[in-house]
Amino acid sequence: MPYPEIRPRRLRRTAALRRLVSETRLDPAELVVPMFVKEGLTEPRAIGSLPGVLQHSRDSLRKAAAEAVQAGVGGIMLFGVPTTRDERGSGGIDPDGILNVAIRDVVAEVGDDTVVMSDLCLDEFTSHGHCGLLTPDGAVDNDATLAAYAEMAVAQAAAGVAMVGPSGMMDGQVGVVRRALDAAGHTDVAVLAYAVKYASAFFGPFRDAVESALDGDRRTYQQDPANLRESLREVELDVAEGADLVMVKPALPYLDVVSAVRAAVDVPVAAYQVSGEYATVEAAAANGWIDREQVMMETLTSIRRAGAQIILTYWAVEAARLLRQRYCWLLYTSDAADAKAR
């Protein structure tokens, strides 16, 4: 056999070489941690299908937000879990509703040390569990829902949020939210558009986390998992309506979509590593079938490699701490080597 003159393995021989030529790097500042706060709790409560994730009380949420900032995460995405719901999801608009109160709490705790974001959707607040208002025959009313989103956006901005995340997949939601924010004087509040959100089976544990009342599915407004070109159209529309960032959700089953969206737009692209992705890894690791830490970092790296500049993940704080520990270790070993050489 001819002698191999080209040997790519030369650059894989040591950890230092692999680190030197690494094409994709994770940074804590690119990670966003979703957090849930439940009205009326005095102590945080575990979520059975999301090991390690909590429904927070207001006090524990403030503490968790401070810990996330200390870990170096780039943002916190807040979700509210009310004690009562109605058909119109009025708790999401109420200035004293749990989500708006939580925004004020977290902003008071961490200020501008991280980006405080909030989910802008009615599903956590409606008695039927859908992301919008319903017509008498039970269909989701797109345009009536837009009016509710506009009110919700202004309420969240008044509470102090830096970025709203309209996630209901209503046609025109970004434009309506942008105009409502601007008309109310909140021109600096950014819009993270859930531009590509599939009707996915990976959302199951999230629905446990928010105690969703949904009976049925959301296939009439969330996207068909078979479609890619439709996603690019959704993204184009959201950017035209004023989205500051766009997001793909879920992440891992749709890395091709993340890559295509990244190639199509100039605004920052985010991806949401959703509850089912997280829970699948946690369950396999609990059974000893995989190396949890390595799989965690491998999945995050794959999302980053696909083109997502920002990653929403339930591992954000843990991953940020691990990345900072590795960086500090590299500085330590480099300093030690320099001292030895001297």
- Please write the tens of the pLDDT for every residue from 200-216: 999 989 889 999 888 88
With a cut of 60, say whether residue 185 has pLDDT above it: yes
Domains of the chain by residue range: 26-329
Catalytic (active site) residue 197: yes
For residue 1, what pLDDT is reported?
Answer: 65
Specify whether 249 is catalytic. Answer: yes
pLDDT given at position 4? 83
The predicted pLDDT at position 341 comes to 52
Task: Determine if residue 234 is labeled as part of a ligand binding site.
Answer: yes
167 is in an annotated binding site: no
Q: List, in sequence order, the alpha helices (H) in 93-172.
A: 98-110, 142-159
Q: What is the pLDDT of residue 60?
A: 98
Q: 274 to each of 169, 199, 251, 279, 342, how far by Cα in Å?
A: 16, 12, 7, 9, 49
Q: At residue 331, does pLDDT exceed 70?
A: no
- Residue 179 counted as an annotated binding residue: no
DSSP classification of residue 269: E
Average the pLDDT over 233-238 and give the result: 98
Tens digit of each residue's pLDDT (9 = 90 or more) over 86-136: 999 999 999 999 999 999 999 999 999 999 999 999 999 999 989 999 999
pLDDT tops 70 at residue 342: no
207 annotated to bind ligand: yes
| CB-count exposure of residue 292 (10 Å: 0-12, 13-18, 19+) | middle
- Beta-bridge mates of residue 302: none
pLDDT at residue 332 tops 50? no
* Higher-confidence position of 15 and 150: 150
Confidence label for 340 from pLDDT (cuts 50, 70 and 90)? low
pLDDT tens string 41-76:
999 999 999 999 999 999 999 999 999 999 999 999
Q: Please tell me the CATH code under which domain 26-329 is placed.
A: 3.20.20.70
39 is in an annotated binding site: no
- Report pLDDT digits (tens) over 130-175: 999 999 999 999 999 999 999 999 999 999 999 999 999 999 999 9
Looking at residue 327, its pLDDT comes to 65
Pick the catalytic residue from 38, 63, 197, 340.
197
What is the number of H-type helices and E-type strands within the chain? 11, 10
